[in-house]
Structure 1
Amino acid sequence: MPHESLLNAPRPAAPPPQAREQSDPSERSQPIPLLVAAFTLLMVTAGAAYILLSEPFGQPGLGDRRTLADLRPAAGAAGGAVDGKQVFAGNCVACHQANGKGLPGVFPPLDGSEWVAGDERVVANILLHGVTGDITVAGSTFKGAMPSFKQLGDAELAAVASYIRSEWSNKAAPIKPELFAAERKASARTAPFNGGDEVKALAAKGG
């Protein structure tokens, strides 16, 4: 029968199943490789051993050798005396050098200088007003400019003047702050001395 033949007819193949999305990702344990872990542990252990077994950090002999005592203000007489060496180090050493020899042909020496060991008033006025132009020191002529240090107090100027007059081979007497105070009042000069000749003229006038 036609109806029965339709029932027995082969059925068409089912369509393929629809492709689905990939499954959700999942984390898996991935430990550090043993070689890397061993190398890291070795480096940490070596660093800790170096810190524990080495000497204290820093070598004082290679750095600033000043002590706390060197950095403290110098103890002085009543009211606290000014340290002339410290004033010199802060204002003069760059030109005249720590040994007082200056720089040949550039900056005159203080060690053995006739100006330093000479008239106190000359020393005071050079420090107060400065000098420009030619000046002969210890047989050599220098041409330059020494600035005025009138911004320093009388006690500081007296301290540094006394220091350079008694340091190295110099044996001159110290200078008192009162001299600088008197020379400030006695002169209305606002410009440096014009060379050594003008300084000599000051000494010749005696006032």
Structure 2
Amino acid sequence: MSDISRNDRAQRRENRDPQESFNPVPRLMLGLIGVLFGWALFYIYTARPATFPSLGDRRSAEVLAAVPARAVDGEQIFGANCVACHQASGAGIPLVFPPLAGSAWVDGSEHVLIQILLHGIKGSIEVAGSTFNGEMPAFGEKLGDAEIAAVASYIRSQWGNQAGPVTAETVQDQRKLTGGRSTPWNGGAELATLK
């Protein structure tokens, strides 16, 4: 038996290579695509994407105004804005960020604490026997009166601090008192003049 006949028999046992022929997309599939496209157009038209996002649930402004406001959570505000520097324990970072626990600036006059939160501090300040020379950002533009009152009340009642709560009205009064100020307080020396 020759090699040629063996190859011929081997080739005859093999199936032909598949070939694509002209197969149109089934009409059922075209119909389904058309229905989905029509539904998408109808949905976009009825969704009215040009309305105000705040009224997306279709409640009127009067209904939204009647919804009672949640109480402001001072702990949450502290966690979002202050914990990175002053730490969750209120101990701060030694020689870098001052502690809030046992701080006379926290336990002392609420007016001074409010001013610190409103305008920030830049420069040397002594806290709990250590001197810190850094900068604390101002939160007056970022936080409202109720939020500043909530975070001030929170830190005045945590980590052994036993000062009384701060009201939003007091923050509002302090904000008006120094409304023209655009720079941070110049360290503890300038803050001491507020007492």
Q: What TM-score range do you get, normalising by the shorter chain?
A: 0.5 to 0.7
Which residue number in structure 2 is paired with residue 66 of structure 1? none
- Mapping of 1:72-83 within 5 angstroms? 79-83=69-73
Give the % identical residues. Answer: 54
**Structure 1 position 178 matched with structure 2 position 164:** no
- Mapping of 1:1-207 within 5 angstroms? 23=8, 25-27=11-13, 79-150=69-140, 151-187=142-178, 188-203=180-195
Structure 1 position 120, deviation (Å): 0.9
SS in 2 for 1:105: coil
Runs (4+) off by over 3 Å? 26-29
CA RMSD of aligned residues (A): 2.0
Structure 1 position 148, deviation (Å): 0.2
Which residue number in structure 1 is paired with residue 47 of structure 2? none
**In 1: Cα distance, 2:194 partner to 2:182 partner:** 15
Structure 1 position 182, deviation (Å): 1.3
TM-score (norm 1): 0.62
Which residue number in structure 2 is paired with residue 68 of structure 1? none
- Cα pair distance change 1:158/1:26, threshold 3 Å: farther
SS in 2 for 1:25: helix
- Cα pair distance change 1:28/1:132, threshold 3 Å: same
Structure 1 position 79, deviation (Å): 3.3
Letter in 2 for 1:198: E
**In 1: Cα distance, 2:11 partner to 2:95 partner:** 84
The structure that has the greater radius of gyration is: 1
SS in 2 for 1:172: coil
**In 2: Cα distance, 1:189 partner to 1:25 partner:** 94
- Cα pair distance change 1:25/1:108, threshold 3 Å: same
Count, aligned residues: 136
- Cα pair distance change 1:27/1:154, threshold 3 Å: farther
